[in-house]
Amino acid sequence: MRSACEENGATGQKGPEPDDLRLLQFLRWVVPLVFGFAALAGAAAALFSDPGLLAAGVILLTYGGLLLFARRRVGAGERVEAVWTICVGLLLAALLMSAVQPGWLAVLAVTPLISVAVALPYVRGGDLLRLIFLAWLTVVVMAILSRALPPLSRPPAWFVDAFTAGALAAATAVVLLLLWQFSTRLNETLARTRAAEERYALAERGVNDGLWDWDLRRDRVYYSSRWKEMLGWREDEVGEEPDEWFRRVHPQDRKRLLEEVREHLRGRREHLNVEYRIRHRDGSYRWMLTRGLAVRDGEGNPVRMAGSQTDITRRKQAEEKLLHEASHDALTGLPNRAFFMERLGEALRRPGDGDRVAVLFIDLDRFKMINDSLGHAMGDRLLVAAAERLKGCLRPQDTLARLGGDEFTVLLEGVSSEEAASVADRLLERLREPFRLDGYELFTAASVGVVLGGRERAGPEELLRDADIAMYRAKALGGGRKGIFEAGMHTRAMELFRLENELRRAIEREEFTAHYQPIVSLKTGLISGFEALVRWRHPERGLIRPDEFVPVAEETGLIVPLELSVVREACASLVSWQREFPQHRPLTMSVNLSRNQLARPELPEQVERILLETGLDARSLRLEVTESAIMENVGSAAATLSRLRDMNIRVHIDDFGMGYSSLSVLHQLPIDALKVDRSFVGRMDGANDDVEIVQTIITLAHNLGLDVVAEGVEREEHLDRLRRLGCDYAQGFLFSEPLDAAGARRLLSAYRRW
């Protein structure tokens, strides 16, 4: 037990009690005992004249004082009870020994045991040993005095018998009292133990963790009921062997768990803290977090290890879901760009496989038309269906990803160039098959770029870039095909990149201008109007033709501001010429619109604003669009063209015969004229099919109430034949090449007739 100093220190007091206070407390207990025991001893000596009894009383008085002196080491609420119980027990034992001298040896043995039994609930450690020693010393002294000092006179026999019987009864009562006290305290201890166990079980349930306790010396493990329940097992179905635990751990996690346990037992880890999967009774695996701590002996060797097991399956599932969402496309469920690039990097770093890696870049053709005409929901369903088809064409070890929009990529490992090309062909063929979605039969195709790994210093970004370049090369050739990357493609791509930057600067510097090619009426032979064609006056390269920069402008979206600037310049020029040359009335202006421009719903408002700025009558403006531009989104294009016609602007279909518009669609479009493509006009030599085609187009147009303009007229024979076929207008180098504004003025002033 702790000393008074230790108790004071534990409670935050300043130190031991002063000596005078200690003496006062000592006298407070000793003085009553001295007078009490002295009075009893004196009365007994006077009655029986027995010096032995007097000596016993003095010794007991001294012993009581010693016990009182040591009382501070007993629990604060039990000091008095402890001292008086021990003193009374020893006094009764001494009286019994004095009355029945032949049994003094038994008393000598029993008395210390009684004192120990009495003191046991109150005293611990070294204090208990000191009390046992004092008890034995007291009994031995009393026995010696009883033998050495025979009584002066003997009491009557009846008194001895009565006293002996009373002493025995008192001793029996004391023993019974002690047994009752011991039983009571034992029951209290059991109740406290039971309450502690209930609190332990409640705490275990509260935290919902399974507990385990591993006796390393016996190699036995206690698994709590909750530990077994977490894995679907009953109490009696799991033994105490460590293997009951470790054999259920997932094979991929078992080695790591055992290594963590060994590291902790060796003292290299302060705590055991490891996550792993463990098999449930139903065969599934649950994620667990095990935490534990080893108990070590004086030499630092582990003798026990205990800890808890927490089910973290839901947390792991949430983490895996977040990781999947971060690395996969939400619409198709395919890996996204980041995941694909990581997988590509791993493939290139893998020894020996970098030269057998192929990347395919896939872009769906005509997807925008479907998306705009049928809605984004239908476009999304088409993307999902396309992704499923692509997956069906690949091996399990291949990686298919969606980069965004209608772009997909494929990583092929361990393939040759021929095998990669074969996979690309298989993908193209599969995507050409019609998609049947929500009652619609959708036709699409794809352009695929193919690049092979193994080139020196080619990393993931470079390979993906080159596959993209090859894809755009395939798309530039008409789409629906594959393009194999070649070294020169990168140089060409860099030139296009440089050209794009120059285009942006040229628009800012207004380096673009319009050239005008006359359109002649075949009825009058006079100029009826012009077609405005854009030209780029490059400060270093001179005049650049449209076919060199228009495709790049369309691809980058720069064609939109470029065409609007041409419309504005052409309208302003026509207003000036109409005033200057009234004899050419009605003089008109035709301007081309790209598919990018036609797809913009604000186009009619922008054209109307230009007409107001320049003062041109809307009836003098013709806007030309190609069949392919209209067919990419028939509904949207028809709506835009209708709004333009409502403004009295006439609409012409350019390059007619080269697209894929049907007659039924053509009949529904708000158009005013067809322009026959130059390829048909240029081959009208003699009797051939092209003459029949031109004749059919002219007849069809007139039946629909449309005018016909023939492009690419370069010879007199072509002009004569077109007149005989009933063509309305003609345009080509036979009349003039495209001229700048000054040249067009000179041509108008000549007032030539063809």
The pLDDT of residue 28 is 46
pLDDT score recorded for residue 8: 37
Provide the pLDDT for residue 13: 37
311 lies in the same domain as 363: no
The total of structural domains in the chain comes to 4
CATH number for the domain spanning 367: value is: 3.30.70.270
Write the DSSP string, 27-38.
HHHHHHHHHHHH
Report how far residue 244's alpha carbon sits from residue 306's, in angstroms, rounded to the nearest whole number: 16
Instruction: Give the pairing of strands 512-521 and 527-538.
Output: antiparallel
Give the residue ranges of the chain where pLDDT is below 50. 1-25, 27-28, 31-32, 34-36, 38-58, 61, 65-66, 68-81, 83, 100-105, 148-149, 152-154, 160
Q: Fill in the DSSP letter of residue 21.
A: H
Would you say 362 and 409 are in contact if contact means Cβ atoms under 8 Å apart?
Answer: yes
Q: Which residues contact 560 (CB under 8 A, 6 or more apart)?
A: 594, 596, 597, 600
Q: Where is the domain boundary, 485, 516, 534?
A: 485
Here the contacts of 59-64 (C-beta below 8 Å, separation 24 or greater) are 59/138, 59/141, 59/142, 59/145, 60/87, 60/90, 60/91, 60/94, 60/138, 61/33, 61/34, 61/37, 63/87, 63/90, 63/134, 63/138, 64/33, 64/37
**Structural domain ending residue among the three candidates 317, 345, 379:** 317
| Claim to verify: residue 662 and residue 728 sit in the same structural domain | yes
Give the per-residue pLDDT at 80: 44
Nearest residue to 74 (alpha-carbon basis) of 115, 16, 125, 113:
125
Strands 527-538 and 588-592: parallel
Widest CA span in the chain: 178
Q: What is the spatial distance between Cα 308 and Cα 447, in angstroms, rounded to a whole number? A: 58
Q: Are residues 268 and 167 in the same domain?
A: no
- Does 547 reside within a domain? yes
Q: Give the tokens for residue 228.
A: 């077994």
* Digit-coded pLDDT (tens) for 444-501: 889 999 998 765 557 899 899 999 989 988 887 778 899 998 877 777 777 777 888 8
Instruction: Verify that 369 and 400 share a domain, yes or no.
Output: yes
pLDDT in tens, 702-724: 998 999 999 999 999 999 999 99
**Rounded Cα distance, 694 and 713, in Å:** 13
DSSP SS3 for 585: coil
Query: What is the rounded CA–CA span in Å between residue 87 and residue 545?
Result: 126
Helix residue spans in 328-445 (DSSP H)? 337-349, 367-374, 376-392, 417-432
269 located within any domain: yes
The reply to whether 492 falls in a domain is no
- Claim to verify: residue 145 and residue 114 sit in the same structural domain: yes
Report d(CA 279, CA 247) in Å as an integer.
Answer: 9
CATH number at residue 284: 3.30.450.20
Q: Is residue 313 domain-shared with residue 362, that is, in the same domain?
A: no
Inside any domain, residue 322 = no
Query: Are both 586 and 728 inside the same structural domain?
Result: yes
Reported pTM: 0.49
Residue 707 bridge partners (DSSP) = 673
DSSP H helices in 49-125: 51-69, 79-99, 104-119
Integer CA distances (angstroms), 198 to 184, 204, 230, 301, in order? 21, 10, 20, 32
pLDDT, tens only, 494-542: 777 788 888 888 888 888 999 999 999 999 999 999 999 999 988 888 8
User: Domain range for residue 172?
Assistant: 4-188
- Distance, in Å, from the CA atom of 570 to the CA atom of 562, rounded to the nearest integer, reads 12
Closest to 142 (Cα-Cα) out of 36, 42, 41, 71? 41
Given 485, 516, 538, which residue is the final one in a domain?
485
